[in-house]
Amino acid sequence: MRKHLFLLPLLAVAACGPSDRCEAPPQPKLLSAGNLSLDQKADAMGLPPSQVPRDAAGGPAIEDYVARHNRAVQVGYCVENEAYKARGMKDEMSTVAHAVMATCKESNESDTLATVLEYRNCAVGNK
């Protein structure tokens, strides 16, 4: 029985391999027209910040800005989340990137491939 107790720590150490230390991407905060900063309002209206009216709270330019921003944030989150979920896949990286792009309706292959590589490296212990 004593001989077997010596093997227990050896088995525990052998079972430990490169562990997955990656964290899931955080859910993004979406913008609304009411909580834009002065700089964001200026960007939306195409004006310098000093010329933005104080009562500028809405309008088509601001609504378009908010919609574009929120769409970009959601697509970015989708790409990161799908790359995170696929971090342990053994498929070719370009295949995984194309699957992520199709899922997220994204067309930027180089950025998607970089995100897949980042999470794949993280999953094997390389940061």
- On the question of pLDDT at 3 being above 80, the answer is no
- What is the rounded average pLDDT of the residues 45-50? 90
Q: Is 63 helix (H, G, I), strand (E, B) or coil?
A: helix
pLDDT value at 10 more than 70 = no
Query: Sorting pLDDT into bands at 50, 70 and 90, what band is 127?
Result: low
Pairwise CA distance, residues 6 & 8, whole Å:
6
Say yes or no to pLDDT of 121 above 60: yes
Distance CA 119, CA 20 (A): 10
pLDDT of residue 33: 86
